[in-house]
Amino acid sequence: MAQRHSVTIIGGGVIGLTTSFALWRAGHEVTLVEKQARIASGASRANGGQLSYRYVAPLASPSAPFEALSWLGRSGSPVALHPNADLHQWGWMARFLRSCTEARFRAASSALLTLALESQRELATWRDQGLSGFDWRQPGKLILYRHHASFAKAAKGLSDRQSQRLLTPAECAMIEPAFAALAPELAGGLFTDSEEVADCHAFCLKLRDAMQGHERFRLLHGSAALERSGTRCLVRLNGVPLPSNRVILAAGLASRELARPLGVGLPLYPLRGYSLTVTPPASSLPEVSVTDYDRRVVYARHGARLRIAAMVDIGKSGARGDERRLAQLRRLAQQTLPEAGPYDRAEAWAGERPATPDSVPIIERGPCDNLLFNVGHGALGFTLAPGSARRILSLVGETM
């Protein structure tokens, strides 16, 4: 490496930790700042854990404006849109709708796929060099389609016909016997054997443990603030200056407020998601990663546990809304995979994923000479994190 830098990364979720790890491996001095008492306690805590590198289509699609009409106020839909008086929501939605053209959808899809495959390669490098202990597996991904229309659309839009196999309902049952009882309700399925799963929270802890105690890494907890000093960005931690010659903002949704004093309006909005974690009998654990497409529910095994994740709420807040959605998820899981219950004893989670209008994360230089952004990964944070960190590493040497 030509030159070592002192780098401060703000945000201790999967994006901040992978960024820290990539820079630390490259020989930089890294300070990671996390506001909460524990790392990875927000959107990285209990997400689905599917590393679906070839399934990273943006939420903003040509059909989304029509689907949005059915989302309005419907708490039972996979994506629920709840308009409110937040001007930021309306600005974000306007940009979202502008991203729904066919050309922009294709551009965003291509950008996400490129980054996802970079991320898969980077994670493979880290694993080859000893990173382990986070329930990583490559069991493949099975997508189940209940409706003939959605199955036909999937068949028409295959992105990699060499690795993606169309299946009959009977073949779906053979690939994953845990879902065999669902076969009479299916139109078909799609299987990709190269897709992976892992536990995001355990991954974050392993990244921290790999760096912890090393002289070039320190983890600080407290409230960070950014301010301009000429052409450079300064960091204050609990009001005290924190010296650093490079600053990387990777604080998820909180990045929006942190960037505001710099005159930057990051186009981030929370997409709330939900999950349940159960420890079912071994006989009912699915081996492969499964997505129930028409219900938008994912099932991923992490060791002896099963993670069930679903739903997107746009513009919804409050604990009451959480409980209704979690109850809905329990019902869907009970209907689909009853042997894996009882779901009333499942560990429940709800988290807000910071999304851009076109679903493409912001990985670029900021308005100050020494500032970089690594934000806006939405529901794809875990999938895209190692590749995003790799891109940040290439940018660090270019900042002043």
pLDDT (tens digit, 9 = 90+) per residue, 102-133?
A: 999 999 999 999 999 999 999 999 999 999 99
Q: Which two tokens stand for residue 108?
A: 């965003």
Whether 266 contacts 373, CB under 8 Å: yes
* Residues 169, 173, 178, 184, CA torsion sign: positive
Crossing angle of the two packed helices 381-396 and 14-25, in degrees rounded to 10: 40
Residue type, 251: A
Whether 69 contacts 301, CB under 8 Å: no
Q: Which two tokens stand for residue 174?
A: 């053979």
Is pLDDT at 331 greater than 80 in this prediction?
yes
Sorting pLDDT into bands at 50, 70 and 90, what band is 168? very high
pLDDT digits (tens, 9 = 90+) for 20-50: 999 999 999 999 999 999 999 999 999 999 9
The answer to whether residue 157 is domain-embedded is: no
Sorting pLDDT into bands at 50, 70 and 90, what band is 400? low
Determine the 3-state secondary structure of 164 from DSSP: strand
Q: Which residue would you say has higher pLDDT here, 313 or 8? A: 8
Determine the 3-state secondary structure of 252 from DSSP: helix
State the residue for tokens 């099963």. Answer: 306
Is pLDDT at 58 greater than 60 in this prediction?
yes
The answer to whether residue 171 is domain-embedded is: no
Lowest mean pLDDT among 8-22, 60-74, 83-97, 210-224: 60-74
- Give the pLDDT confidence score for residue 84 in this predicted structure: 85
- Give the pLDDT confidence score for residue 1 in this predicted structure: 45
Average pLDDT over residues 331-356: 95
Q: What is the DSSP letter of 260?
A: G
Q: ∠ at Cα 309 (303, 313), nearest 5°?
A: 155
- Give the pLDDT confidence score for residue 29 in this predicted structure: 97
pLDDT digits (tens, 9 = 90+) for 278-327: 999 999 999 999 999 999 999 999 999 999 999 888 887 654 558 889 99
- Give the pLDDT confidence score for residue 320 in this predicted structure: 54
- Give the pLDDT confidence score for residue 82 in this predicted structure: 82
The answer to whether residue 202 is domain-embedded is: yes
* Residues 100, 106, 109, 114, CA torsion sign: negative
Question: Which region, left, alpha or beta, applies to residue 252 given φ > 0 means left and ψ of -120 to 50 means alpha?
Answer: left
Is pLDDT at 194 greater than 80 in this prediction?
yes
- Give the pLDDT confidence score for residue 315 in this predicted structure: 84
Q: What are phi and psi of 313, to 5 degrees?
A: -110, 125
Q: Is the pTM of this model over 0.85?
A: yes
The answer to whether residue 301 is domain-embedded is: yes
CA–CA distance, 122 with 127 (Å, rounded to integer): 9
pLDDT digits (tens, 9 = 90+) for 233-250: 999 999 999 999 999 999
Average pLDDT over residues 267-288: 95
Average pLDDT over residues 143-159: 92
Average pLDDT over residues 206-215: 97
**C-alpha separations of 243 from 12, 31, 182, 214, 364 in Å:** 19, 10, 58, 19, 22
Number of Cβ within 10 Å of residue 36's Cβ equals: 11
Whether 68 contacts 81, CB under 8 Å: yes
The answer to whether residue 121 is domain-embedded is: yes
Number of structural domains in the chain: 1
The answer to whether residue 336 is domain-embedded is: yes
Residue type, 255: S
Range of the domain at 67: 6-140+194-356+364-396
**In the predicted model, what is the mean pLDDT of the chain?**
94
- What is the DSSP annotation of 102-159? HHHHHHHHHHHHHHHHHHHHHHHHHHHTT---S--B---EEEEESSHHHHHHHHHT-S
Contacts of 189 (CB under 8 A, 6+ apart): 142, 143, 144, 145, 151, 166, 167, 168, 169, 171, 172, 175
Q: Could you give the percent of the chain with pLDDT greater than 70? A: 96
Q: Could you give the percent of the chain with pLDDT greater than 90? A: 86
Residue type, 124: A
- Give the pLDDT confidence score for residue 75 in this predicted structure: 62
Sorting pLDDT into bands at 50, 70 and 90, what band is 338? very high
Sorting pLDDT into bands at 50, 70 and 90, what band is 371? very high
Q: CATH code at 103?
A: 3.50.50.60
The answer to whether residue 169 is domain-embedded is: no
The answer to whether residue 291 is domain-embedded is: yes
- Give the pLDDT confidence score for residue 327 in this predicted structure: 94
- What is the DSSP annotation of 26-63? TT-EEEEEESSSSTT-STTSS---EE-TT----S--TT
